[in-house]
Amino acid sequence: MEITNEQMQEWLNCGDSKEYFELLKFVTVGAEASRLRDCVQCATWLKKWLREIGAEAELISPAGKAASHPVPVLFAEIKGEEGSPTVLFYGHYDVQPADPVDKWETPPFEPSFRDGRVYCRGAQDDKGQFFAFLCGVREYLKSGKKNVNLKILLEGQEESGSTGLFSLLEESSFRRRLASDVLLVCDTSAAADLRPAIVAGIRGVNHFTVKLTAASRDLHSGEYGGVAPNAAQGMCELLSSLHAPDGSIAVEGFLDGVEEPSAEEMEKSSAAFETEEDARKAVEKDIGAPPSGGERIKTIARRLGFEPTVEINGVHSGYGGPGSKTVIPCEAIAKISTRLVPGQNPRRTFDALKEHFQKHCPEGMEVSFPEDSGLSSAMKLPVSSPIFAVAEEALTEMDSRGPIYQWSGASIPVVSALKETSGAAALLVGWGQPCDCIHSPNESFSVRQFLLAKEWAKRILEKLQY
Amino acid sequence: MEITNEQMQEWLNCGDSKEYFELLKFVTVGAEASRLRDCVQCATWLKKWLREIGAEAELISPAGKAASHPVPVLFAEIKGEEGSPTVLFYGHYDVQPADPVDKWETPPFEPSFRDGRVYCRGAQDDKGQFFAFLCGVREYLKSGKKNVNLKILLEGQEESGSTGLFSLLEESSFRRRLASDVLLVCDTSAAADLRPAIVAGIRGVNHFTVKLTAASRDLHSGEYGGVAPNAAQGMCELLSSLHAPDGSIAVEGFLDGVEEPSAEEMEKSSAAFETEEDARKAVEKDIGAPPSGGERIKTIARRLGFEPTVEINGVHSGYGGPGSKTVIPCEAIAKISTRLVPGQNPRRTFDALKEHFQKHCPEGMEVSFPEDSGLSSAMKLPVSSPIFAVAEEALTEMDSRGPIYQWSGASIPVVSALKETSGAAALLVGWGQPCDCIHSPNESFSVRQFLLAKEWAKRILEKLQY
C-alpha cells in the first residue's frame, strides 16, 4: 500500500488527523508527578471522543499505593449483537519524557508534519498507533456492523510500570469487567518495509534506580584526592561488574530458569534475514553503530527476542557542565532496566541484582534502591493459536507478502497480566518501524502507518465472528 | 587566638566585613561563559578598592586563544621605599560553580552569617582568603610602613585552568612586570585546629572531558537491548579501567618519572598525626566515610601529598529523572582531573591517559576529548628556604605552637608558572580548614580565619626587609 499525494492531502484535511494532532499536544509524561494534570486532561478528551463514537466511557482513578499519583485509566464499552465475541482493545496515552529536548528539530509536544510524517513525542508510541486503530473502530461502527462487543482500555502509565492499572487489576469488580475473548494491542512493530508482523512473544521488564553514597559531601579533589572514596568511580565499577567481557550477564542467579527457544521459534524469528551478516548489516544501518551489545557469540535474532538483558538507561554523578569542577562526588545514581525471557521469575531476577550490587559495593560506600517500578514476566504465545490464523488472513488481504512472526524484545508489562485477567487470546499487531525513533528525539509516525493501523482495525473486527 | 563576642561584633560592623560581603555577591563562576559579565563587574569593583588603598591598578584582558572568554586579570602596584624588596601577592576572585544548588541551606551567592561563620560560595576559596589578606595590607599601609614594594595579581580563572593568565604569561612585557623577590599566596589550608602551616609542595593538575559515542541516537532498550552498544555501560567500563583493584593507577606511562618523597619530607608530612590509625580516624571523621580512595597500601600522608591521582569529577549519560526511561544511551561524558607529583611531565600524563582511553574504547564506540584546560606541574619548595625562616618567626609570634610543613594535595596551577616568571621565592600560607567545605555546598569561612589571614598579611609584610 503506497500513499499518493492525494491520499496524503485527504488525510491532512480529515477529522482523523485533526483529532490526532490535538491528542498529541497533551504533555502526557505519565512518569512525572508534575504532568498529572495533563494526563487527566488527555484522558478526559479521549473519554469525550469515545462517547461521541457511541461508547459508554468512564475514567477510573486508581486507589491504594497508586493513589499518590492517580493517572486515570479509561474504560469504554460498545455493545454488539447478543452473543457476539468480546474484544478487549488495550492502548496507552502516556509517553516517554522528551529529553534530551535540545536534540528535537521541532518542539516535542507540537505535532509537525514533514514529508509524509508527523513528528511529535507519542506520534507513534502509543498515541499514534492506538488512535489510528480507534479511527478504524469509528469507521467499523459507522458501517453499521455489530459482530463484536468492544471493550476499550487506555492507561496513562505504561512507560513507567502501569502502576495505576496494576492496582486496579487487584480489584475483582474491575477484573470482571475485562472478561473477553480476544485481547487486541496495537503497540508493536511491523517487519522491514512495513511487512505485517504478529507478535508471538514479548520480553518482560523491570526498572529500578540504584544509588551509591560515599562521603558526607562532595569533596575537593586536590585536598582529598588519593584518600576519599569516589562515588562516580564506585558506580562505574559496580555497573561494569554486571557483564562479563564477552557481553554475557555476570549476575549470579539472574539467569536461573531461562528457557531456550524452540527450533521452530529460532527458525521463524530468523526468517527476516537470509544470513547473520545481513542481519548485522541491517542493524548497523539502522542504529549507526555495529551490533556490539549483548552476548556476541549468539545470533542477533536470538539476542533480540530470546535473551534477557541488563541495561544501563542512565548514570549520573558529580559535575557535568562546561569547563571543570574538581570535586570527588559523594553520590551517584544509575537507572537500570532489565528485559526478561520465558522461565525467569521477575522477582528472583530483581533480588539477584540487588544481591549483586550489595556484594560488589565498593569499600566505604553504601548502595540503596530508592525507586523501582513494575515487574513483568515475559509472554510467549503458541504459534498455532486459532486467532493467529484469522489475523494471517486479514493481514494477507492487506499485504500479499503475508505476516511474519516476531519475538519482540520490547515489553508491554501489563499485557501478560491483561491476558490472564481477561482470559482472552492475545493478538499483538502493530505498525512501528525503526525510523520512527520511539523513546528518542524526533519521534515520528507516517501517514502510511496511520492508515495501515486504521485499516487493520476495520479488517480484524469484521473477521472476528464465532 | 580565640574570638570574643565583642570582636565578632566589631568585625561585623567594620568596613572589612561589609566589603567582603559585597565581594561575595558577584557570581564569579569563571568557567561559565554566561558569567563573564559578573567577573568583569567583580574585577572592576576590586580595581576601585585597590585604588582607594593607594594602588595603581588596571584590568588586563587576555588576548590570543583566551580572548574568546576574556575574564580580566587585575594587576596593581604600591611602591615602597627605594631599594625595598618586592612582594608579588597572588589570589583569584573566581569561584567554583554552586551546584548542587539544592544542597545549600542559604542561596549560594548571598552571604549569610551564622555562628561566627560566613556561608557563601567563595567565602573561603579564594575570595575570603585573599580579601582578608588585602585588608591586612590596607592596615599595613595605613600604619605608614614602606619596607616593601607590593605587586598584586588577582585572576578570575583559577578554578578552570587560569587560561587568561597563562596567555598573558606568554607576553614578555607582562612577564617583566611580575619580577619580584617573594611570591605570597593565601589560598591553602592551616593544619588541625588552625595551627599555621607552610606549604612545601603542591601537586600539579590537569582537567579534561571524555566523550563516548555509540549509536546515532538514543535507542529503545526493548527494541534494541541485546544488540545495541550502550554508551553508559561503555563509559563505566572505560572509567573502571583507570584503576587496579588495589586502588593504584592502571594507566600505562602515567606514572613515568614519579619521584619518591625524601625521608625528611615523609617525616615532616606525617607530623600532624601520631599514628596511621589516628590519621585514618581524622579523615573519616572529616569526610564521613573511610579513607578508601587511592592506593590503600600507602599511608594517608603519602597518598595526600606525594601520590598522583586520576579522579572522576563527574559522569553523565542517559536518563536521570524520576521514574524510568528505557533508553540505551548513545553518548556519555565524563569529567576527569588528575593530580600530579614532582617528576611527572604533565603533557606526557595527559597523552598516556588519552592513549589509554583509545586503547580501551569498547567495540562499536568512539572516544573523543572535547575539552581540556590547563596543565600544571607539581611544585616542591626546599624546606631550608630562607623565606621559610622568616615565615616561621612571624607564625610563631601568632601561634606559639609554630607552623608545620605541608605537602598539599591541592593545586594552584598557575603558582609554579608565577614562581618561575617572577623569579621569586614562593611562600604559601593559608587559613583553610576542612569544615570550610570549599568546592561543596555551604562553603564557609569563620571570622577567626578571616582575622588570622589579615594578621598574617600585616606581620609577614613588616618582617620582609633586606
Size of interface A-B (CB pairs under 8 A): 382
| For residue B272, pLDDT beyond 80 | no
Of A235, A309, A337, the CB nearest to B226: A309
Section B205-231 average pLDDT: 94
Pick among B28, B99, B313, B428 to test the A interface (most A CBs inside 10 A): B313
Asked if A367 and A211 touch (Cβ cutoff 8 Å), the reply is yes
Chain A residues with CB-CB distance to B209 below 8 A: 324
Bridge partners (DSSP) of residue B315 are: A317, B334
Q: Tally the C-alpha atoms within 13 A of residue A213's C-alpha that lie toward its C-beta.
A: 9
- Exposed, middle or buried, A44 (CB in 10 Å: 0-12/13-18/19+)? middle
**What is the grid cell recorded at A72?**
486515570
Rounded to the nearest integer, the mean pLDDT of chain B is: 94
> Is residue B108 scored above 70 in pLDDT?
yes
- Residue A1, pLDDT above cutoff 70: no
Nearest-CA distance from A83 to chain B in Å? 39
**pLDDT score of A67:** 84
The grid cell for B466 is 633586606
CB contact under 8 A, B216 and A332: no
- A205-256+305-375 maps to CATH 2.40.40.20: no
Flag if B314 and A319 touch (Cβ within 8 Å). Answer: yes
Q: Which residue has the cell 488527523?
A: A17
| Domain ranges within chain A, ordered by starting residue | 5-203+378-463, 205-256+305-375
Q: By CA distance, what is A326's nearest residue in B?
A: B313
Pairing of strands A366-376, A425-428: unpaired
For the stretch B428-446, pLDDT in tens is 999 999 899 999 999 999 9
The CATH number of B204-257+303-376 is which of 3.40.50.2300, 3.30.70.360, 3.30.1330.10, 2.40.50.250? 3.30.70.360
Look-up: residue for cell 558526607?
A: A216
Under the banding of pLDDT at 50, 70 and 90, the label for residue B181 is: very high
User: What does the pLDDT read at residue B15?
Assistant: 94
**Candidate from B327, B334, B362 with C-beta closest to A313:** B327
A331: left (phi over 0), alpha (psi -120 to 50) or beta: beta
Secondary element (H or E) of residue A265? helix A263-269
% of chain A exceeding 90 in pLDDT: 81
Average pLDDT over residues B396-410: 90
* Nearest-neighbour CA in chain B from A335: distance (Å): 7
Asked if B319 and A313 count as a contact pair (C-beta separation under 8 A), the reply is: yes
Minimal Cβ distance to B217: which of A209, A373, A440: A440
CA A448 to chain CA centroid, nearest Å: 21
Averaged pLDDT, B107-124: 97
Which residues in chain A are contacts of B331 at CB distance < 8 A?
none
pLDDT tens for B47-104 read 999 999 999 999 999 877 778 899 999 999 999 999 999 999 999 999 999 988 999 9
B220 contacts in A (CB within 8 Å)? 410, 438-440
A325 contacts in chain B (CB < 8 Å): 31, 96-97, 159, 313-314, 335, 439
pLDDT band at B1 (very low <50, low <70, confident <90, very high): low
Of the candidates A292, A318, A411, which has its C-beta nearest B314's C-beta? A318
What integer pLDDT is reported at residue B277 of this predicted model? Answer: 95
DSSP 8-state class, residue A429: B
Contact check, Cβ <8 Å, B235/A315: yes
Q: What is the pLDDT of residue A175?
A: 95
Per-residue pLDDT at A413: 77
Across the interface, whether the CB atoms of B315 and A316 are under 8 A apart is answered: yes
What does the pLDDT average to over A364-384?
Answer: 88
When pLDDT is averaged across residues A84-105 and rounded to a whole number, the result is 95
Q: Which CATH class is domain B5-203+378-463?
A: alpha beta
Q: Which of B299, B312, B376 to mutate to test the interface with A (most CBs of A within 10 A)?
A: B312
Judge contact between B57 and B75, C-beta under 8 A: yes
Domains A5-203+378-463 and A205-256+305-375 share a fold: no
For A162-185, the pLDDT digits (tens) are: 889 999 999 999 999 999 999 999
Residues B364, A290: C-beta atoms closer than 8 Å: yes
